[in-house]
A and B are shown apart, each in its own frame.
Chain A
């Protein structure tokens, strides 16, 4: 087996590719976590986004319309989560799991109903997201092709990390959101309405998961496959937990998973069975979870008593 050439520029480019949808979804999950809603529906929201993006792009012939449809559909589904968990005080975990199952079912059903195919829907009429090379920067040796030859959603995802960080820690909006997530009653006695902030956070996660889905189905590939998110939403959930909802830490966790996925794919080329290499991101997730177990049990405990 030839191990040389496992690490090169192309590997890093595929790391970034793998990381972007997860990062978009994770930023959504992070905002929810800070607002006190443990959003495990990222997977389902993202899958709805994938399907809506492909359908929108296919019918309109425009990638932009695809993205917008993805955002609208994922946000509508997020509104269900917001209504159930915030207004009706349902357990967001139960609701989130239900939405994930619903998303798999409804996209599978619509795949047959609208396109009359099972498994995978591909068509030349689906318009993918163009990559936008940034002149000059993209020609930089090393990082140029890795960071400056992405889709617009790719740039958005990377810019979002510092933006979310600054919003959370440097703006009144972020202070209020963090307060709402920690002690909603305290916030309401100070005239800050927790419901509004929690709705805002969950709907924002819908928008971001819609974008994540669009990136996955119109950027990374140009097709819809049943259950094509394949656990990426869950990995986003884990990334947020690992980083304790810190934006920069979440980026680092997403890079780790992106690396595992890209490296696994590369190993496959070197003759390792696909069943093993495909499992790489999930093995990394599992290890990360075991390491972070203490934090997780604490989060759940506070969620339960709070």
Chain B
């Protein structure tokens, strides 16, 4: 049988590393093929080579039995390959139709045939159940729709092989499910799907076959139906990972964070958080579950001092800080792992040492007589790099060059090393690989066991369920329910997050 796509011995070296080491990959027509691996395993490099953005040092690419030499994405597109990047490659000010036809425009005379472009885009989208408005401006569209635009873009270029790089990283569970439906429809239609991910659940649910990369090599190939999550994880990490979280050793102590009647207003005085009252006690992890956009982000911003509150109090370790600055709150005992590690969590242009020093730089030993001590800053960084196993060449490395998992470790290391009584962890493991997830979870539980109070916000229900002692559910700006760890499961949380009343849920559940 002729393979739709075959890579033979692809090797690509960068200064100091072999990103791809003699990788073989074969993909059959009409299958959904998952490419798995931790961050830095070489997935992105391989895909860039496949799409003509990078050139392999060695190795061959075959498409439908023909040897290919891709010198630019144009060649890959001509060979029937389409790529949906993790960070979308769209033009915000242009319309959906313009984005789709860009570079391959239909013309009438020599002019752009706008109506024809819009018609073609609408037809393509409808055929595969991709709801998009061809005339909408891309900047006005939510992220789930943008991904559909990317898929239509590839289909417009007659892609028979569609490659998706971590397609669900930015999607809500519902959007992910809709995406999977589309991908299945495309596969039934005879198109071939390659999707890159490190989410085991998706691989098990979606793929026909799996190829696992580790340290630049293809270390394992599985037929999904004949393997198990544990087997794939072992291939990915090279060891057994048991996602086991230890329960707290002692009952929770005094409240560290206490919010009463918190109200936060958005545009036009519309409440985005309304009457939020809760506390987080020493030695416990409280999880906040909710579909993105139901007020969690604003609540966290209000607690950390990044947003002002319309009413209510925020107490950290017994002090009301609702009107105080971020510095006040930090001084009262707040540490914070923000959701956006690039824009909020780190300064990309600065080096690792400076990023690790942030917040510590106001006190000795990093600061003496009002002057920063470069030697102390460096030692501080080296200590944390060792303790948190951050993979960087040294304290001078600019953090902008780090992979997602390592960058997150920089943030976690800095915040944990404050030893503050309160930790706010917002999506602490989003987009990081299995090994880093395990590590961060261990750090969060260690913080709890030291007597720290932890408030955890996560879009991953499994994360909320495995870490939290109590779970608050937010819906439309309100805390609509509180569950103990024992009474919570994914189905119950899902219903509450979708706005079902707790009474309804308990009637159904029992």
Contact = CB atoms under 8 A, between A and B. Distances in A.
Contacts of B153: 190
B463 interface: no
Interface in A178-196: 178-179, 182-183, 185-192
A188 B105 contact: no
A183 B112 contact: no
B110 to A, nearest CB: 7
A182 B93 contact: yes
A172 B83 CA distance: 22
B98 to A, nearest CB: 6
Interface string B86-112: 000111111000100011110100111
Interface residues of B, number: 24
A191 B112 CA distance: 18
B329 to A, nearest CB: 28
Interface string B47-81: 00001010000000000000000001110010000
A171 B98 contact: no
A170 B89 contact: no
A137 interface: no
Contact of A176 (B51, B77, B92, B102): B102
A188 B77 CA distance: 12
A176 B83 CA distance: 19
Nearest to B111: A170
A183 B85 CA distance: 14
A175 B98 contact: yes
Contacts of A171: 110-112
Contact of B102 (A170, A175, A185): A175
Contacts of A170: 111-112
A69 B105 CA distance: 37
Contacts of B92: 182-183
Nearest to B53: A189
Contacts of A183: 89-92
Interface residues of A, number: 18
Contacts of B98: 175, 179
A182 B74 CA distance: 20
A189 B91 contact: no
B53 A178 contact: no
A191 B91 contact: no
A174 B107 CA distance: 13
B372 to A, nearest CB: 26
A172 B105 contact: yes
Contacts of A185: 89
B94 A190 contact: no
Contacts of B89: 183, 185-186, 189-190
Nearest to A170: B111
B102 A190 contact: yes
A183 B93 CA distance: 10
B103 A192 contact: yes
B94 A178 contact: yes
Contact of A186 (B72, B90, B104): B90
Nearest to A192: B103
A182 B91 CA distance: 6
A189 B85 contact: yes
B16 to A, nearest CB: 24
A176 B103 contact: yes
Given A170-B111, A175-B112, A187 B103 contact: yes
A216 B68 CA distance: 55
Contact of B91 (A174, A179, A188): A179
Contacts of A174: 112
Pick from A171, A172, A182, A185 the residue with the most CB of B within 10 Å. Answer: A172
Nearest to A191: B74
A9 B85 CA distance: 59
A97 to B, nearest CB: 24
B94 A189 contact: no
A172 B73 contact: no
B107 A191 contact: no
Pick from A171, A179, A186, A188 the residue with the most CB of B within 10 Å. Answer: A186
B86 to A, nearest CB: 12
Given A172-B105, A187-B102, A190-B102, A178 B91 contact: yes
Contacts of A191: 72-74, 77, 103-104
Contacts of B105: 172, 175
B87 to A, nearest CB: 9
A190 B73 contact: yes
Nearest to A179: B91
B112 A172 contact: yes
A175 B94 contact: yes
B429 to A, nearest CB: 26
A274 to B, nearest CB: 44
A175 B114 CA distance: 11
Contacts of B111: 170-171
A100 B114 CA distance: 41
A277 B409 CA distance: 63
Contacts of B83: 189
Contacts of B53: 189
A212 B73 CA distance: 39
Nearest to A188: B73
A297 B92 CA distance: 19
A33 to B, nearest CB: 13
A179 B102 contact: yes
Nearest to A180: B91
A183 B105 CA distance: 18
A170 B117 CA distance: 13
Contacts of A172: 105, 107, 110, 112
B47 to A, nearest CB: 12
Nearest to B75: A191
Interface string A138-172: 00000000000000000000000000000000111
Contacts of B103: 176, 187, 190-192
Contacts of A188: 72-73
B137 to A, nearest CB: 12
Interface in B107-138: 107, 110-112
Interface string A177-219: 0110011011111111000000000000000000000000000
A190 B153 CA distance: 9
Contacts of A182: 91-94
B116 to A, nearest CB: 12
A154 to B, nearest CB: 28
A191 B51 CA distance: 11
A192 B91 contact: no
Given A170-B112, A171-B112, A172-B112, A192 B102 contact: yes
Contacts of A175: 94, 98, 102, 105, 112
20 contacts: A170-B111, A171-B111, A172-B107, A172-B112, A175-B102, A175-B105, A176-B103, A179-B91, A179-B102, A182-B93, A183-B89, A183-B92, A185-B89, A189-B53, A189-B73, A189-B89, A190-B102, A191-B72, A191-B77, A192-B102
Given A190-B77, A191-B73, 19 more contacts: A170-B111, A172-B107, A175-B94, A175-B102, A176-B103, A179-B98, A179-B102, A183-B92, A185-B89, A186-B90, A187-B103, A188-B72, A190-B102, A190-B103, A190-B104, A190-B153, A191-B103, A192-B102, A192-B103
A-B CB proximity, top 10 nearest: A191-B74, A186-B89, A190-B103, A172-B105, A192-B103, A179-B91, A189-B89, A182-B91, A189-B73, A183-B91
